[in-house]
Amino acid sequence: MSWIRSIPIFHLLLVCLLAGDLGFNIFANANAWDCSEGWSSPGSNYNGWLCETKASGGQSVTQYGSKCGRNDGLLPSARDCVDEDGKLMNNGELWACDLVFDSYSDYRKDGRHFYCNQSKNVSLFYCRSMNKPQQCNKLVCSTTP
């Protein structure tokens, strides 16, 4: 009869596993900015991290910070990326973009309007969409450089 009491706990465990598998951020850190509009690593344009967030009114806000990194241990990533020669990376699945992710201002006929750079490969990649944004710690970020 003791197994009957464990059924609700088992169901809760299944819900947590399913939610995590579907990409929900149920364990997100409230003390981190989601760089939902883009990011760049130290040395790209500034000696710290640049994190583009969206304010409550809808406008973009740049956060300048000294510490960024996803709290769930995953790398920030994009989907459906190609290299500069047009070669599809990772069969169009997730592609790490841990250094830079931003809008690409020039027209591309393939519809990839974002560019991405990663620490393992110095090439530039063009992507269709963001998957997981970079996160930057709110305690070490401000809107002034």
Does residue 17 belong to any structural domain of this protein? no
Do the domain assignments include residue 20?
A: no
Distances from the Cα of 16 to the Cαs of 7, 23, 36, in angstroms? 14, 11, 24
In a domain, 5, yes or no: no
Contact 36, 54 (CB under 8 A): yes
| Helix or strand holding residue 16 (H, E) | helix 2-21
Which segments of the chain have a pLDDT < 70?
1-30, 44-45
Contacts of 46 (CB under 8 A, 6+ apart): 40, 64, 145
What is the pLDDT at residue 15? 55
Residue 11 falls inside a structural domain = no
**130 in a domain, yes or no?**
yes
- Answer yes or no: are the C-beta atoms of 116 and 81 closer than 8 Å: yes
Residue 18 lies in a domain: no
Q: Count of domains in the chain?
A: 1
Asked if residue 87 belongs to a domain, the reply is yes
pLDDT number for residue 105 = 86
- Write down the residue that tokens 């990663």 correspond to: 118
Tell me: the pLDDT tens digits for 101-122?
Answer: 999 888 889 999 999 999 998 8
Single pTM value for the model: 0.73
Q: What is the predicted pLDDT for the residue at 9?
A: 63
Give the Cα separation of 30 and 12 in Å (integer): 23
For residue 109, the enclosing domain spans 31-142
- Is 26 within the bounds of a domain? no
Q: What pLDDT, on the 0 to 100 scale, is given for residue 27?
A: 45
